[in-house]
Chain A
């Protein structure tokens, strides 16, 4: 394709694209000629760089007249052919039309009208006339490939300019990167501290709730003891005929009974609060780890950027050395020219020195260019912004143990378990997973066929062996606050005597083991 042909094609490229979008297959040839044919072959277009009608265009005009097609020859040399579905043409009229068109061409009138921006229109009914040509699509230039790098740097000035540009670029990029580093690090650190405070607060709430549990349990026990005493006193008074005393102690029993129930409710509420606080603490801990990772990412990115800037400055330094060598070579070349003109002896030594400096400059230039072997587009890479809030876990992950990294049920044992898989019917089987809101902490051991349902919490040193079942809101905590809560049941096929529905009769000692 010649430059002229390319220019011509570019002047028609908008038309080419437009026709393809209208259903034409548009062929472009290196000589600049363009032919388009619609898929139903009832519409064709021929464009040729030659202002005169080409042989192909003449043939298409002849064919179109014979078939009863609409023919248009536009002022830009474009020939259009359109064959209506109901086209008909008599041989006699076609012959007359061919003569008329040939006369327009041979007389030069067609070329004249085209130069004046007119279009020759040949209608199927035999009408032949001129009309003003419509607008043409905007020319489109072929897109050129993006060129990276630069022309070879041959002179001292070119080498020095390259060094200067690299130094300025590195300096500016370093300044921007430091601003970005300060912003990102500050944001990540502040977010990390906020999450750390949430974590500490959740831990504190859990500890306070534990304290409340113990306190309310003690109160409930004392009230129940007093209630039993009031019941015994009332019975004795009734038996001895002291009706007034019996009624008084019965009233005391009723009051104590209410207070005991309230204390029970307080204890259960505190237990629930403790469980919630531990879930929140687990979530906060996960977020805290993410925030620490964000900070590490910001640091790593900054270090990579600094290395890249340092490398660019090193490259600039090498270019500058090359520029110095090349400048000396250029100076010696000039000196040699002068010395040679004056016929000074040993002028060749100056020429040799210039060549040595030039060789050194080229060697340094090659070294500097090798810095560009690293992908210049994105040597830094990208990292997730610390501004992005990470997904929040809604439940403590299975096996998580607050305060004990990894917990007894460490990640290795339950690495495949995910909170989303939890369900109401909790089942613990040896080396299996946890479910629902159950938390297993510290050194708890759950062995074969154990089943735990609903909001169970098992902490510290609890050990539950074969065939154990814990229902509802059961909670087992160790060492001091260990107990089984409201309607908890532990069933053992070999220890049926330890089944219970009363949480306070199921209190377990520090060495609780079933």
Chain B
């Protein structure tokens, strides 16, 4: 997988912690899309974005 030497991210330990995973779990079980971002945030969207 392509690495990253120039994209800024939040400290790795705060990305995908238990709180993030719980929010993702709840949103997915509610039928929503979730995005785990490199800034450490979890974004929830109601519809499937265009890929």
What is the interface of chain A, defined by CB distance below 8 A to chain B?
A: 1, 5-6, 9, 13, 16-17, 19-30, 35, 38-40, 42-43, 45-46, 56, 70, 80, 82, 140, 142-143, 145
Contact = CB atoms under 8 A, between A and B. Distances in A.
Contacts of B16: 16-17, 20-21
A20 B15 contact: yes
B37 to A, nearest CB: 5
Given A23-B8, A145-B22, 4 more contacts: A1-B28, A21-B38, A43-B1, A140-B21
Nearest to B5: A23
A139 to B, nearest CB: 12
Nearest to A80: B1
B31 A30 contact: yes
B1 A28 contact: no
A6 B7 contact: no
A23 B7 contact: yes
A30 B36 contact: no
If over half of A's interface residues share one DSSP class (helix, strand or loop), that class is named, otherwise mixed; here it is mixed
A1 B32 CA distance: 9
Interface of B: 1-4, 6-9, 12, 15-16, 18, 21-22, 24-25, 28-29, 31-38, 48-49, 51
Contact of A21 (B15, B32, B33): B15
Nearest to A56: B51
Contacts of A1: 28-29, 31
Contact of B35 (A22, A26, A56, A142): A26
Contacts of B24: 28, 142
Nearest to B3: A22
A39 B28 contact: no
| Cβ-closest 8 pairs across A and B | A23-B7, A17-B16, A142-B25, A43-B2, A23-B4, A82-B2, A20-B36, A21-B12
B7 A40 contact: yes
A20 B25 CA distance: 16
A39 B31 contact: no
B33 A30 contact: yes
Contact of B51 (A16, A35, A140): A35
